[in-house]
Chains A and B, each alone.
Chain A
């Protein structure tokens, strides 16, 4: 984590979003430094995913700014950009890992093609290089590179999720948004995936925003933790601090409801 850097990588200010009359996000402020892992926890419908989607540009916020420090264009407000401007500014600086790997992968194409697609999008037009990089990345996410030509439809859920992560990391993004990356996986697979994520984030100096409702996941991966309820951030701080000494009633409830074995 590079807290000594003067500017955050991502700075969200006063973000608000309504769907019709329903207010789903109000006054969201957050800052994220390069290499930092931030977890957002909260109950279903508290606006976690909408917040991610606002940052990613899939949903346009009604109010506020999403300041992003891009490699080429300095700090820009992502919320105010058109799609083509956005692509030019962000390039491959941002990744998005879907909860369901089927949303983030092309299941009918081979694993190699899935990893190759972001490279092609970034302008690489060399088959041999793409192939080489794809098999490197398969190894990095612990998938047998011999299965490079198999479609992910034949992979297990955990492998699909790892493939999706490889696909997101292959272009060297600086910020990855993850929406419940371990949801729907069995516990042993979850543990391995978390291990992998922690290692990759540290190796690549990756900033991550991790949406989850599993406090264990947050505890393992995150440097900082934010708790959301009804579209607001009700509590935030260092992960251990929030989990060991929760102030808000909702957070206390959340922490006390974790099964202790």
Chain B
């Protein structure tokens, strides 16, 4: 995380032709780092920042990419995943982008990475102390479905007025007998701020809780940054008589046989044959090479 503090020869000599180290100019990085520091100091609080135009469209990870660009250093090893996979277009593009503009080493192995940018998943391999994970966030405001006005949601955050948020759970249980929200399941960070964990599956929510890694969230369109410092409690909303639980499936991964990981459902042919495989490609591959089922 040691980005150059001055424009030294190192920065000038960085990989490409006229671009600053990791694309963003140093002033923007400073501003974003300041927002990150504030976000870390107030876990779960959404810090506004002056989001920059990035060379990719909103919704493709402009928030995450700005956070990554601001904290990446020469010694970092970067991993980028999209829906758990290292080989999807978005992941490949962002990984190449930083390989080119920052000249950092990249990897697909979760354990080897010091910095992981992700969309929609947390890796199955538990994160370690010293690692940083950056989430791409489309809608940072968990109260937005309830209250369209920003002034009103800010007041609700300030007063800790989170009772109405439980209406979402109430309506689910009243209608379906259980909570059906499967992704972006609202959480309370450090017993204070209500936070949207970005659209990760509900299955990943427990991984947020007291994680030894630093977790940063960047929303590019909405221009918000928030964070969960290491070892911070993250509690998913629930009722006393309907405690939070993760989903269970009867399927196992068709490649590696894992029964505990989040699975993608693939339609194989025109007759509706289905196959379930791990969405975390690195996890799947590492199980295979370690002698898992073929």
Chain A positions within 8 Å of B, measured between CB atoms, are 83-84, 87, 106, 109-110, 112-113, 116-118, 120-123, 125-128, 130-131, 148-149
Cβ–Cβ contact B170 & A130, under 8 A:
yes
Cβ–Cβ contact A109 & B239, under 8 A:
no
Assembled-state Cα–Cα distance A116/B171 (Å): 10
Q: Which residue of B lies closest to A149 (CB)?
A: B174
Cβ–Cβ contact A120 & B240, under 8 A:
no
Partner of B239, one of A84, A123, A126: A126
Q: Which residue of A lies closest to B167 (CB)?
A: A113
- Chain A hits for B173, CB < 8 A: 127
- Chain A hits for B171, CB < 8 A: 109-110, 113
Cβ–Cβ contact A112 & B174, under 8 A:
yes
- Chain B hits for A87, CB < 8 A: 159
Provide the main secondary structure of the chain A interface: helix
- Chain A hits for B159, CB < 8 A: 83-84, 87
Assembled-state Cα–Cα distance A176/B173 (Å): 31
- Chain B hits for A113, CB < 8 A: 167, 170-171, 174
Decide if B105 is an interface residue (CB 8 Å cutoff): no
Per-residue contact bits, chain B 4-32, to A (CB 8 Å; 1 contact, 0 not)? 00000000000000000000000000000
Q: Other than A121-B163, A121-B164, give 10 A-B pairs with Cβ distance below 8 A.
A: A87-B159, A113-B174, A120-B164, A125-B240, A126-B239, A126-B241, A127-B173, A128-B241, A131-B174, A149-B174
- Chain B hits for A112, CB < 8 A: 170, 174
- Chain A hits for B175, CB < 8 A: 149
User: A87, A116, A123 — which one has the most chain B CB atoms within 10 A of its CB?
Assistant: A116
- Chain A hits for B239, CB < 8 A: 125-127
User: A120, A123, A149 — which one has the most chain B CB atoms within 10 A of its CB?
Assistant: A120
Decide if B166 is an interface residue (CB 8 Å cutoff): yes
What are 16 residue pairs bridging A and B, where the CB atoms are less than 8 Å apart in the complex?
A: A84-B159, A110-B171, A112-B170, A112-B174, A113-B171, A117-B163, A120-B166, A120-B170, A121-B164, A125-B239, A126-B239, A126-B240, A127-B241, A127-B242, A128-B241, A130-B170
Assembled-state Cα–Cα distance A136/B39 (Å): 44
Decide if B265 is an interface residue (CB 8 Å cutoff): no
- Chain B hits for A125, CB < 8 A: 166, 238-240
Q: Which residue of A lies closest to B242 (CB)?
A: A127
Decide if B161 is an interface residue (CB 8 Å cutoff): yes
- Chain B hits for A121, CB < 8 A: 161, 163-164
Cβ–Cβ contact B167 & A120, under 8 A:
yes
Q: Would you give the shortest CB distance from A167 to chain B, in whole angstroms?
A: 12
Assembled-state Cα–Cα distance A84/B163 (Å): 15
